[in-house]
């Protein structure tokens, strides 16, 4: 239709919703509901632990040793034991994981062998942690005669987190544009020099992020150290790599299942759990901050 000025009038005709759009909206609503439900459950769990454990936290609780058959005192040996296990694990696993990722991305040729290796890495990443604990018990504790010790637990944790470090480092290295490699090679640099001076520095933020999240992952594991490193109680700090240590996850397990007075130690259980949650969330937060800051710096 035309108005008096001769312009054509356009009328808005509402479109009917098709069955596909209705199904899409329904699926989106279900996904949103599940996501919010998971967030609510997580918030409730955190609120429950904080409510029951915040009253126990104090400087003495963090810095003193357990006393009175672990029904009083602090959790300092468990904190230090977890820190030592995690630190030694990362010292062992990071060089191996990064070098493996460099080989897979820069030197290996596409083919059936590479596909099998990648499939093995992804498969090992999904193996339950108790399996790694039994492996560490059989190999490091019994065969290599390390006994229940700090070194046995650290090596077991390193093997457990190795697939994750390899996969995250591999993705970080792949994210570096190929043109950067070509520019370096065109200037006369060797492939090794290009990897050391160009590829690894540019992929370092992603590698560090994966390392921080991997650190948070191993610091909360109980099964691997239960069979290889953790002690029910130690009177002091470890004096060598071949002595057992206390650890926060195993300490919680002991207090909740095999303690001398489980009900009396209930506040200590919640306080220890809250300490472990704060440490794990803190390491994850550091990894997220590093990743966000470095992503903003990238110009490609």
**Distance separating alpha carbons of residues 42 and 39, to the nearest angstrom:** 5
- Per-residue pLDDT of 264-296, as tens digits, reads 788 888 888 888 888 888 877 877 787 777 667
Q: Where do runs of H (alpha helix) occur along 176-222?
A: 178-186, 191-194, 200-219
Q: What is the distance between the terminal CA atoms of the chain, rounded to a whole angstrom?
A: 52
At residue 8, the pLDDT reads 52
* Spatial contact of 88 and 150, defined as CB atoms under 8 Å apart: yes
Q: With 0.95 as the threshold, say if the pTM is over it.
A: no
Q: Over its length of 300 residues, how does the chain's per-residue pLDDT go in tens digits?
A: 545 555 555 555 455 556 667 777 788 888 888 878 878 888 888 888 888 888 888 888 888 888 777 777 888 888 888 889 999 999 999 999 999 999 988 888 888 888 888 888 888 888 888 899 999 999 999 999 888 899 999 999 999 999 999 998 998 898 888 888 888 888 888 888 888 888 888 888 888 888 888 888 888 888 889 889 888 877 677 788 888 888 888 888 888 886 567 777 888 888 888 888 888 888 778 777 877 776 676 655
At residue 157, the pLDDT reads 93
Closest CA to 148 of 140, 220, 258: 140
- Per-residue pLDDT of 228-264, as tens digits, reads 988 887 767 778 888 888 888 888 888 888 656 777 7
* 149 C-beta neighbours (distance < 10 Å), count: 22
Contacts of 135 (CB under 8 A, 6+ apart): 156, 159
**Distance separating alpha carbons of residues 13 and 11, to the nearest angstrom:** 6
Q: How many residues does the chain have?
A: 300
Reduced to 3 states, what is the DSSP secondary structure of residue 227? coil
Is the C-alpha dihedral spanning 291, 292, 297, 300 positive or negative?
positive
C-beta contacts of 202-206 below 8 A and 24+ residues apart = 202/176, 203/169, 203/172, 203/173, 203/175, 203/176, 204/172, 205/172, 205/290, 205/291, 205/293, 205/294, 205/295, 206/168, 206/169, 206/171, 206/172, 206/175, 206/291, 206/294
Reduced to 3 states, what is the DSSP secondary structure of residue 8? strand
At residue 299, the pLDDT reads 57
At residue 153, the pLDDT reads 92
**Distance separating alpha carbons of residues 131 and 120, to the nearest angstrom:** 16
At residue 135, the pLDDT reads 92
* Spatial contact of 136 and 159, defined as CB atoms under 8 Å apart: yes
């Amino acid at each position: 239709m035309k108005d008096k000025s001769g312009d054509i009038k356009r009328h808005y005709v509402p479109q009917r919703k098709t069955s596909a759009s209705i199904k899409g909206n329904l699926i989106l609503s279900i996904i949103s509901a599940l996501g919010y439900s998971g967030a609510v459950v997580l918030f409730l769990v955190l609120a429950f632990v904080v409510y029951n454990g915040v009253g126990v936290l104090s400087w003495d609780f963090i810095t003193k040793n357990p006393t009175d058959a672990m029904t009083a005192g602090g959790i300092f040996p468990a904190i230090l034991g977890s820190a030592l296990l995690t630190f030694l694990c990362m010292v062992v696993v990071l060089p191996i994981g990064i070098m493996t990722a460099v080989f897979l991305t820069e030197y290996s040729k596409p083919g059936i062998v590479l596909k099998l290796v990648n499939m093995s890495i992804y498969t090992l990443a999904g193996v339950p942690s108790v399996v790694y604990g039994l492996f560490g018990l059989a190999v490091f504790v019994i065969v290599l005669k390390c006994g229940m010790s700090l070194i046995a637990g650290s090596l077991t944790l390193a093997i457990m987190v190795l697939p994750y470090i390899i996969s995250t480092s591999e993705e970080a290295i792949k994210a570096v544009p190929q043109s950067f490699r070509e520019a370096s090679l065109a200037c006369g640099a060797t492939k090794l020099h290009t990897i050391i001076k160009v590829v690894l520095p540019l992929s370092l933020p992603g590698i560090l992020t994966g390392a921080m999240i991997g650190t948070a992952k191993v610091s909360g594991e109980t099964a691997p150290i239960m069979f290889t490193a953790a002690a029910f109680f130690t009177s002091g700090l470890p004096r060598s790599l071949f002595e057992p240590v206390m650890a926060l996850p195993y300490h919680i397990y002991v207090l909740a299942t095999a303690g001398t007075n489980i009900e009396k130690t209930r506040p200590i259980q919640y306080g220890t759990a809250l300490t472990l949650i704060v440490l794990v969330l803190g390491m994850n937060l550091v990894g997220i901050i590093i990743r966000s800051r470095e992503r903003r710096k990238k110009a490609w």
